[in-house]
Amino acid sequence: MKSFSSVLKKFLYLFFIQLSVFLCAGILLLVLSSKYEMCKAFGCAFITFDFIASVIESIKYARRPTVNSSDDIDHISESDFDAKFMVDEKSEEVGKNVTQSLMDRLIGENPTFKNDVWCSPDKQGEALLEFLEERINIDTPFSECIDAFEEMCNIPLEESRVDFEAGALFINNENFYFSVIRFYRGEDGRLYKIRLEFFFEIEKANRRIFEMDSTKYSGIKFFEALRKSKAYKYSSNNKFFDYDIKVSYEKEK
- Is the residue at 73 inside a domain? no
Both 108 and 143 in one domain: the answer is yes
pLDDT tens digits for range 130-164: 999 999 999 999 999 999 999 999 888 877 888 88
Q: Please report which confidence band the pLDDT of residue 240 belongs to, taking 50, 70 and 90 as the band edges.
A: very high
Q: What is the average per-residue pLDDT within 36-53?
A: 90
Both 188 and 130 in one domain: the answer is yes
Both 56 and 103 in one domain: the answer is no
Instruction: From 18, 34, 63, give the residue that closes a domain.
Output: 63
- Is the residue at 71 inside a domain? no
Domain that holds residue 43: 4-63
CA distance 234 to 73: 7
Q: How many domains does the chain have?
A: 2
